[in-house]
Homo-oligomer: A and B are copies of this chain.
């Protein structure tokens, strides 16, 4: 058995540094525990002159990817460039050269997981991507090992640390979105261009990967109904708190009968639910299995070392299989063979906040309209009317019993046509 595992790494950004450091810190313990002497022997780095703030021998660097992909001594290639291309092509080339691949690239796996997965199967090597979903949290490993003994009916994740930090701060200090975003950017918890995070795109990529692992269904991230957190107002957060909820950006997928529903959207989570206590930059994944029942995994979903921990865990996992003379394992990690019919967002309870003219009969008109659509109202709250643009208006809040989102959209479109309706201010899913 060859116990010296040589690894080639593509890219030396934040996660690359974390992986390198995690290996430096724990190399000896890994050797002692597993018998594997893991070494990162080459690193693709287009700008070796740039100071990365980490002490790596210069002779490990190469500007030519062929030095890694065509090196017969390298058995594992770690892709940490990010983005869909050229990362996908690099991974494919590595697989074609008989190398197992580890990546933290959610965008590439969400877009091309099927292709890469089948290619790895064809070449009898492994493709691992624990770090692509929820950073350091070992959710993918758990789902594809210890939890294989379950069929799952639902998965919910708080998969983006930036948005969870913003929502937590809004909730704790009553600040508004813009103010907290600026603060998060100053502290380095949000990017200068936060679009992918705050619009839910990052979470949708991760949910797409989870759906394939949990339900065996291939839903491309752009097909997942996705709504970010930019429209969440202090009023919504205050109502949620008063009513025993917290607002979280949930990435959810559920089996409802023979249908699969999913969404990424701000959702009200009951305060007693374990996801409600997941605060600030932390991530969590909650699943419900038919044997294990409820499970939640909590930890750091981003950051150099936590994500590096997941990358290194995948490297060790492949090393252990290489140690048995074949990296290939018959367990397909990504599956796309489900019979479930994809049905978009599906049904749920909803919170609706709207502004109406403060006139007699308004409430009656709106509830009658809901009745026509067969939408039942669980709770109503009317706030004290106030003056706006020379007119008396009032805020109405409804909690609606389970309703299909598209039906609700129709109903709210009709409500908007009433002369008394000033605006539909927000619609937020309510979890039970």
Chain B residues positioned under 8 Å from A82 (CB to CB): none
Q: Is the CB of A138 within 8 A of B148?
A: no
Complex Cα spacing A294 to B309, Å: 12
A102 nearest CB across to chain B (Å): 11
Chain B residues positioned under 8 Å from A50 (CB to CB): none
- A141 interface hit (Cβ, 8 Å): yes
Complex Cα spacing A323 to B329, Å: 9
Complex Cα spacing A309 to B295, Å: 12
Q: Is the CB of A294 within 8 A of B290?
A: no
Q: Is the CB of A26 within 8 A of B331?
A: no
Q: Is the CB of B309 within 8 A of A149?
A: yes
Find A291's partner among B136, B151, B277, B314 (CB 8 Å cutoff): B136
- A344 interface hit (Cβ, 8 Å): no
Interface residues of A in 145-201 (CB under 8 A from B): 145-151
- A305 interface hit (Cβ, 8 Å): yes
- A335 interface hit (Cβ, 8 Å): yes
Complex Cα spacing A277 to B320, Å: 36
Q: Is the CB of A300 within 8 A of B309?
A: no
A89 nearest CB across to chain B (Å): 27
Q: Report the interface size for chain A: residues with CB under 8 A from the other chain.
A: 67
Q: Is the CB of A149 within 8 A of B331?
A: no
Complex Cα spacing A136 to B289, Å: 10
A144 nearest CB across to chain B (Å): 9
Interface string of A274-316 (1 = CB under 8 A from B): 1011110010000001111111111110010110111011111
- A388 interface hit (Cβ, 8 Å): no
Q: Is the CB of A146 within 8 A of B294?
A: no
Q: Is the CB of B146 within 8 A of A130?
A: yes
Q: A33-B335, A147-B313, A148-B30 are in contact. Are A293 and B306 (CB under 8 A)?
A: yes
Chain B residues positioned under 8 Å from A274 (CB to CB): 277-278, 298
- A22 interface hit (Cβ, 8 Å): yes
Q: Is the CB of A145 within 8 A of B148?
A: no
Chain B residues positioned under 8 Å from A34 (CB to CB): 148, 330-331
A126 nearest CB across to chain B (Å): 13
Complex Cα spacing A33 to B334, Å: 10
Chain B residues positioned under 8 Å from A26 (CB to CB): 149-151, 290-291
- A272 interface hit (Cβ, 8 Å): yes
Q: Is the CB of B310 within 8 A of A146?
A: yes
- A365 interface hit (Cβ, 8 Å): no
A129 nearest CB across to chain B (Å): 12
Chain B residues positioned under 8 Å from A289 (CB to CB): 309
Complex Cα spacing A276 to B272, Å: 12
Find A35's partner among B29, B312, B330 (CB 8 Å cutoff): B330
- A324 interface hit (Cβ, 8 Å): yes
Q: Is the CB of B272 within 8 A of A291?
A: no
- A137 interface hit (Cβ, 8 Å): yes
- A332 interface hit (Cβ, 8 Å): yes
Q: Is the CB of B145 within 8 A of A291?
A: no
Chain B residues positioned under 8 Å from A290 (CB to CB): 22, 25-26, 305
Q: Is the CB of A309 within 8 A of B147?
A: yes
Q: Is the CB of A136 within 8 A of B324?
A: no
Q: Is the CB of B145 within 8 A of A141?
A: yes
CB closest chain-B residue, reference A295: B299
- A256 interface hit (Cβ, 8 Å): no
Chain A to chain B contacts (Cβ below 8 Å), 7 pairs = A22-B290, A26-B291, A142-B146, A149-B312, A150-B309, A291-B306, A320-B329
Given contacts A30-B148, A276-B277, A292-B299, 5 further A-B contacts (CB under 8 A): A30-B149, A136-B295, A137-B295, A146-B317, A150-B309
The list of the 5 closest CB pairs from A to B, nearest first, reads A138-B146, A149-B312, A291-B309, A146-B313, A136-B292
Chain A residues engaging chain B, CB cutoff 8 angstroms: 18, 21-23, 25-26, 29-30, 32-35, 130, 136-138, 141-142, 145-151, 272, 274, 276-279, 282, 289-300, 303, 305-306, 308-310, 312-317, 320-321, 323-324, 326, 329-332, 335, 337
